[in-house]
Structure 1
Amino acid sequence: MTDGTEAPLDLAPFDAAAYLTEAEDQDALLAEAFASGDAGFIAHALGAVARARGMAQLARETGIKRQQLYRALSRDGNPTLETLLKVTRALGLRVTAARTEMADPA
């Protein structure tokens, strides 16, 4: 611009789903999310993987409306355990529990 200021940048929203084309990348993102223990990160990561694989197909397989999936699987989402299990099953994933190191009870 001639007055010394720069024109604002036109930025498109970033969607990780566009780059999660390989199963290994999806698995790595989900492993990192679950390891963090951050519910928002976990929901967001599941959402990114779901979008990468196809949200419409996931909605059909889970019986959950697409709008509900988008809402539940967002950073601010809070999917129910039932939704989490349906989504992971439809994505070909299994949720497991592993014992963490516990502090000495003494």
Structure 2
Amino acid sequence: MRTIKANPKAVKALGVKPFDVAKYLDDDETIAEYLSAALEDPNPDALLLAIRSAARARGMAQLALDSGLGRESLYKALAPGAKPRYD
């Protein structure tokens, strides 16, 4: 997965809205397929992005309740550039 950064002025002039994959992760099967595809990518940031998108699709507050983790901790762990450990 790759992130493309566009010129904000050009994007605004064209009337284009940023793409948010979380809007399309609307059921368990779609989320599972998306995460599986991210696991195949050799870039570890792809998995972090996929987990973050799936978490946003589900709702960070709900995920925090389900996992027993603090919402703020989830945001930090899944923030762009974070280096979570997979123990």
Q: TM-score surpassing 0.5?
A: yes
Q: Which runs of 5+ in 2 are unaligned?
A: 1-11
Instruction: Indicate the RMSD between aligned Cα atoms, in angstroms.
Output: 2.2
- The answer as to 2:79 corresponding to 1:79 is no
Q: Which residue of 2 aligns with 1:50?
A: 55
Equivalent residue letter for 2:28: A
Q: CA deviation at 1:37?
A: 3.0
Q: State TM-score, norm by structure 2.
A: 0.68
- The answer as to 2:46 corresponding to 1:41 is yes
Q: State TM-score, norm by structure 1.
A: 0.58
Q: Which residue of 1 aligns with 2:68?
A: 63
Q: Which runs of 4+ in 1 moved over 4 A?
A: none
Aligned residues: 76
Q: CA deviation at 1:65?
A: 2.5
Equivalent residue letter for 2:41: S
Q: CA deviation at 1:75?
A: 4.2
Taking the aligned partners of 1:36 and 1:16, their CA distance within structure 2 comes to 17
Equivalent residue letter for 1:71: K
Q: Which runs of 5+ in 1 are unaligned?
A: 1-6, 83-106
Q: Which residue of 1 aligns with 2:17?
A: 12
CA radius of gyration, larger in: 1
SS at match of 1:33: helix
Cα offsets for 1:2-58 (capped at 9, x unmatched): xxxxx8234433221111112222111111111113211101101111111121011
